[in-house]
Structure 1
Amino acid sequence: MLLAVDVGNTNLVFAVFDGDEVRARWRIATDPRRTGDEYAVWLLQLLSIENIERDQIKRIIVGSVVPRADHNLSVLAEKYFGITPLIAGRGAAEWGFAIDVDQPSSLGADRALNCIAAHDLVEGDKVVVDFGTATKFEALDYNGTYKGGIITPGINLSLDALVGKTAKLPRIAIRAPEGRSVIGRNTEDQMLIGIFWGYVAMMEGLIERMRSEIGRPTKVVATGGLAVLFDNHTDIFDVVDADLTIRGLKLLADRVAS
């Protein structure tokens, strides 16, 4: 089995692959101060609950946008599993696709892994959208070459800024507004309409501009926790896969093993 670890700015996801299937996955808040021993206490209990023995894990790969967490995850892998982990984007686990931008080394691990998985999922040109702490839009051509992208504040980050910089606006939960009206009748509805439909309009507008600039038929692949919510209120996505990043880790690990 393969243990894939996706380290994001907000959450860290552990996923166990049995062959090509995700046998189990768990999410924990990202904290660079968490030690390898602390990870082990948490993870080994969860493996036991899923009836997965520690020695069934034969490979470990880590994709991280939080460099301070990498050392402690390596300690977890080596001390408790006896495995030197692959670090996505380094050494044998280099990305393996062309990055046609001004600063190729600046491409984050999560974005690169999404590109790998999306290119495996759909043919032709594609735009990859990842709803995370930041929302990222990636442009890939039909050869899988990364051509550039867009970074915007995530919807929760936008809401945090709105609430944090105003004295009277309340904290609200992100959800789809009831009905299709974009004229709110009270403060909370007005905020929700602005955040939700404003974000949908931004997303659809940017994707259409990217498609126009690419100039060829382009598929849209979406991932991240809010992708399913938005998918119910827009027809702009061709594929929605919440596991896109960890599938990219699996593809990268398999390429190294082959």
Structure 2
Amino acid sequence: MILVIDVGNTNITFGVFSQDELVSSFRMTTQMPRTSDEFGINLLTLLSSNGVTTDDIEGVMIASVVPKTMHALVNAIEKYIGKRPYIVGPGIKTGIKIATDNPREIGPDLIAGAVGAYELYGGPVMIIDFGTATTYVTVNAEGEFFAGVVAPGIGISAKALWQDTAKLPEIEIAKPKSILAKETISSMQAGLVYGQIGQTKYIIQEMKKEAKMPDMKVVATGGLGRLISAETEEIDIYDPILILEGLKVLYDKNRRK
């Protein structure tokens, strides 16, 4: 079994693959500081509750956008799992070419998503990750990661509304019955959800147009991706585990190496 770990700004997502099948997944919050022992004990508990032992784990692959968590997390894996993890970054074999002005600026999560989408769905392909930030990444038919867009995620926008205004309340992010809202909560929901839908459609259309790739496949992932995908004809596929799948592909490429 292979353990893959996606360290995001909000959550740390763990996935366990048996062959090419995701057999279990679980999360921890990223915001809480932890020692390596706290990481290790929590990880062992979560693995055990999913029927996985440390002896089952053949290897580990990590993508992280939160550097301050890495020292404790890597130490925990080495101490409690007994494996030295691969970490997405310079020196890792990806199977795609980062054809941007500064490849070292590209986030490990974006690389994992691009690798997963290109491997599973081919190119050209656009990957949209509806996470803490909403990211749009493009990979051409030759496997070149050539452009990306980063926008505030729905959660960030929602927090800005209720934290930076005196009277707007904290709300659930959900699509209201109509965009013609008649009270505060549904007005906020309409602005957040329909605003994200409009942004998504426009960015997809413009990226396809400027790239001269009108038939580019569009794959969405991330927590709120299901909500937006259901309302957006421009999105072809919603794959909730795309980043984890990409990490498994990266592990396989580097294990062979």
The interval holding the TM-score normalised by the smaller chain is over 0.9
What pairs with 1:127-146 in structure 2 (closer than 5 Å)?
Answer: 127-146=126-145
Deviation digits for residues 145-200 of structure 1 (CA, Å, limit 9, x no counterpart): 0111110000010011111111111111101111xx32211122211111111110
Unaligned runs of 5+ in 1: none
Match of residue 175 from structure 1 = 174
State the one-letter code of the partner of 2:192. I
Match of residue 69 from structure 2 = 69
Give the root-mean-square deviation of aligned CA atoms.
Answer: 1.3
Distance 1:249 1:132 in 2: 17
Match of residue 85 from structure 1 = 85
What pairs with 1:1-258 in structure 2 (closer than 5 Å)?
Answer: 1-31=1-31, 33-91=33-91, 93-178=92-177, 181-216=178-213, 217-258=215-256
Aligned-pair CA distance for 1:94: 3.8
Distance 2:123 2:40 in 1: 42
Aligned-pair CA distance for 1:32: 6.8
Contact 1:32 / 1:66 at 8 angstroms: preserved in 2?
Answer: no
Q: Percent identity?
A: 38
Deviation digits for residues 173-231 of structure 1 (CA, Å, limit 9, x no counterpart): 101111xx322111222111111111100111111111111112111010000111112
State the one-letter code of the partner of 1:110. D
State the one-letter code of the partner of 1:81. I
The runs of at least 4 consecutive aligned structure 1 residues that moved more than 6 Å come to none
Deviation digits for residues 36-76 of structure 1 (CA, Å, limit 9, x no counterpart): 21112111112222222211111011111111111112111
TM-score by length of 1: 0.95
Distance 2:80 2:90 in 1: 22
Q: Secondary structure at 1:176's aligned position in 2?
A: coil
Q: Secondary structure at 1:135's aligned position in 2?
A: strand
Task: Give the count of matched residue pairs.
Answer: 255
Q: Secondary structure at 1:127's aligned position in 2?
A: strand
Distance 2:95 2:48 in 1: 35
Contact 1:37 / 1:76 at 8 angstroms: preserved in 2?
Answer: yes
State the one-letter code of the partner of 1:2. I
State the one-letter code of the partner of 1:67. P
| Pair 32,67 (structure 1): closer, same or farther in 2 beyond 3 Å | farther
Aligned-pair CA distance for 1:9: 0.7
Distance 1:44 1:77 in 2: 10
Deviation digits for residues 130-158 of structure 1 (CA, Å, limit 9, x no counterpart): 00110000111111101111100000100
State the one-letter code of the partner of 1:112. I
Unaligned runs of 5+ in 2: none
TM-score by length of 2: 0.95
